[in-house]
Structure 1
Amino acid sequence: LSAVLQRGWAESTLALYSSALKRFSDFCDKENVPILARLPASEYLLCVYAASFAGIFARSSVQNLLSAVRAWHIVEGAHWHGGVRLVYVLNGLDSFAPASSKRPARVPVTRAMLDMLYDRLSLSDPFDVCVLACATVAFWSQSRLGELLSHSRVSFHATKIPRRLDLANPSTTNGSRVLRYPWTKTKRSKGDTVLITRQIGRCDPISALANHLSINYIPDEYPLFSYRTTSSQLSFLTKSDFMGRCNAIWCAAGFPPSSGHAFRIGGTTELLLSGVPPDVVKTMGRWSSDSFLRYWR
């Protein structure tokens, strides 16, 4: 039962929760909280724990720490006592949030930055064409890199990232293609699909994909974003390698380093500023709320 329950969270989330639970355990040890009083934790204990971060962490960080403790309670079948009082403690943390916890808005990838990749990547190099294809797809489909790329160059989870067979053949005269995602952050193993459409200009994902597939000739069962090494072996594009190549080009041109999420918010921003109706952008980007509207800048 415990093993099945733990599959209810993403692996990356569980990894973060592990360190967060150790922080809770260390706090209880320091405050001499008896073992039996930690599970289930009383609301008073939860409030004191949250309040201990006043002036140190922002509210969102403390909420993440508490989410780990709550997940532990769920797995162990213990009642969660977090209630109204805890909500007010969290509200109060906003008044103590350190200036360092308030990060500036992340800078999105722009169309001009995609054009720069096109200009400076080699359109005949297997690795570079794979990077360009991934960049244009991630941008125009408003995708998360974790939904597209493997964590390893030599292994992958077929249930987590798209394979070559998940990219449908062109379905319109303009070459639009449907890409199936076997796993997404919001729908998890139910997966989802995106429509990749032709774009005017050099950063067209349809052309980039066609060039990538013609140079890297990827078997159906392998990740869509794979590339041939100098020995003609297939290697899987990772987020680290992908962002490293992109940032090497952008930083050399004077841009600050970008994060993977910059592609998703960049595509969203570009579509909104181009006049695409917000409800269409929301559907295209598979946004589960209206939070994407904050990128309308």
Structure 2
Amino acid sequence: MLPIPIIERLASLASQASLADTASYGAGLRKFHLFCDIFSVPETDRLPASFPVLHSFAIWAAADPDINDPTLAGDTPFEPVSVTTVRKYLAALRAWHIAQGWPAPLTSADSDRINWSLRGLEQMQQGRRTKPPRPPITLTMLAALKRTLVLSDPFDACIWAIACCSFWGMMRFGETSVKSRSQFDPSRHITRAHVTFGRDLDNRPYARLDLPTAKTAKPGEIQSIFLTQQGEVCPLEALSNLSQVVPAGPQDPLFSWRDNQGNIRPMVRDTAMHRINAVLHAWGWGTAFGHSFRIGGATFFLGQGVSPEIVRIAGRWKSLAYEVYIRAFEQVSSQHLANRSQRYGL
């Protein structure tokens, strides 16, 4: 690079932007340094990192040793993650090297050898850490949530708007909340200015939520969620209630509430799920997860006979929702398969 201040400044900004959306960047670096500390890898061997070091790191990060295997017994700590996550960690380490001015640490052949080891570990450990499928939120649960929340309370009004929009808009929970209060960024998270109310060709009201960034969006691409009237559990009414109970400016978070000091606060994901699960547990249901709303909305629409292609477009999936949420098929199978023999008199 030429030693020109403006070029150097632009290169620095570009490097920072390249890392901004790498969700596993920090986690990958932390895990790598933990590995190096455990196995006493000296600082000089961490940057640049050699193939043997990164190969060993990948195997350790993905390994979930059988406690009954005496050859693997000992005091070595393991914090196993999925093979998919390990590959994200390696991508983060690659970005870290490049950002620090070093070449990419792994050749194509090196990556192939690491992937070979990871595939082997995945085969060995198959089923050992399988997570149960995320349960879908149902319409009954959504109605119980509304009956329990105090919609005149700023915090609960925000919770209800999030629940409604996540369900009917089939939104990812990370699109309606933030990981921490300090992480809210109006250029990346949805604000009050990103909401438009209108009427369609049949003069029916709708709301459009424009996401400035999304998991499946290209840089600079805006994805839109369309919400329509839905009776007693209507997302349009939930958004209207939120705007009245929690008045805020155009650049404030859409899903926000006011604390006792009158400060606008974005809804934090874990805080929202804690409140939602407290309600669901009180009604006798099990634990829900952020993705349960997206699954629940898709399951409901499919169960009502809505075209999978329409659900795919509304939910912003690249494949058919039936393929994505096949684990929820038992919730809708009777709508499509039951009593078909009756037409033949059986």
Match of 1:67 among 78, 91, 98: 91
* Separation (CA, whole Å) in 2 of partners of 1:271 and 1:205: 15
1:159-214 Cα deviation digits (max 9, x unpaired) = 12111111012233321111111121222652423233324332221121122222
Amino acid in the other structure paired with 1:86: I
Give the superposition deviation at 1:38. Answer: 6.3
Residue 87 (structure 1) aligned with residue 115 (structure 2): yes
Aligned length: 294
* Structure 1 contact 122–129 (Cα < 8 Å) conserved: yes
Match of 2:311 among 277, 281, 297: 281
* Separation (CA, whole Å) in 1 of partners of 2:261 and 2:35: 49
Counterpart position of 1:165: 193
Match of 1:17 among 4, 28, 34: 28
Give the superposition deviation at 1:262. Answer: 1.9
Give the direction of change, closer, same or farther, for the CA distance of 1:223–1:120 in structure 2 (3 Å limit). same
Structure whose CA Rg is larger: 2
Counterpart position of 2:104: 78
Residue 29 (structure 1) aligned with residue 59 (structure 2): no
Counterpart position of 2:342: none
1:6-27 Cα deviation digits (max 9, x unpaired) = 4324264322122122134336
Amino acid in the other structure paired with 2:58: A
Counterpart position of 1:243: 273
* Separation (CA, whole Å) in 2 of partners of 1:139 and 1:162: 17
* Secondary structure class of the residue paired with 2:120: helix
Give the direction of change, closer, same or farther, for the CA distance of 1:137–1:191 in structure 2 (3 Å limit). farther
* Secondary structure class of the residue paired with 1:29: coil
TM-score between the two structures when normalised by the length of structure 1: 0.84
1:122-170 Cα deviation digits (max 9, x unpaired) = 2322221221111111112121222222445578311121111110122
* Secondary structure class of the residue paired with 1:176: strand
* Separation (CA, whole Å) in 2 of partners of 1:283 and 1:132: 24
* Separation (CA, whole Å) in 2 of partners of 1:219 and 1:88: 53
Larger deviation: 160-169 or 13-22? 13-22
Structure 1 residues 1-297: aligned runs within 5 Å = 1=11, 4-9=14-19, 10=21, 12-26=23-37, 29=40, 35=44, 39=48, 41-42=50-51, 45-52=53-60, 53-56=62-65, 57=80, 58-75=82-99, 76-81=102-107, 82-97=110-125, 100-153=128-181, 156-172=184-200, 173-187=203-217, 189-230=219-260, 232-289=262-319, 292-297=324-329
Give the superposition deviation at 1:91. Answer: 1.5
- RMSD of Structure 2 on Structure 1 (CA): 2.9
* Separation (CA, whole Å) in 2 of partners of 1:194 and 1:295: 26
Larger deviation: 213-222 or 66-75? 66-75
Give the direction of change, closer, same or farther, for the CA distance of 1:85–1:251 in structure 2 (3 Å limit). same
TM-score between the two structures when normalised by the length of structure 2: 0.73
Give the superposition deviation at 1:120. Answer: 0.7
* Secondary structure class of the residue paired with 1:62: helix
* Structure 2 contact 22–92 (Cα < 8 Å) conserved: no
* Separation (CA, whole Å) in 2 of partners of 1:101 and 1:65: 19
Q: Identical aligned pairs, as a percentage?
A: 29
* Secondary structure class of the residue paired with 2:252: coil
Structure 2 residue runs without a partner (length 5+): 1-10, 66-79, 330-346
* Structure 2 contact 192–252 (Cα < 8 Å) conserved: yes
Give the superposition deviation at 1:236. Answer: 2.7
* Structure 2 contact 206–227 (Cα < 8 Å) conserved: yes
1:71-103 Cα deviation digits (max 9, x unpaired) = 334433324223333222121112321754211
Give the direction of change, closer, same or farther, for the CA distance of 1:120–1:29 in structure 2 (3 Å limit). same
Larger deviation: 260-269 or 101-110? 260-269
Amino acid in the other structure paired with 2:29: S
* Structure 1 contact 133–212 (Cα < 8 Å) conserved: yes
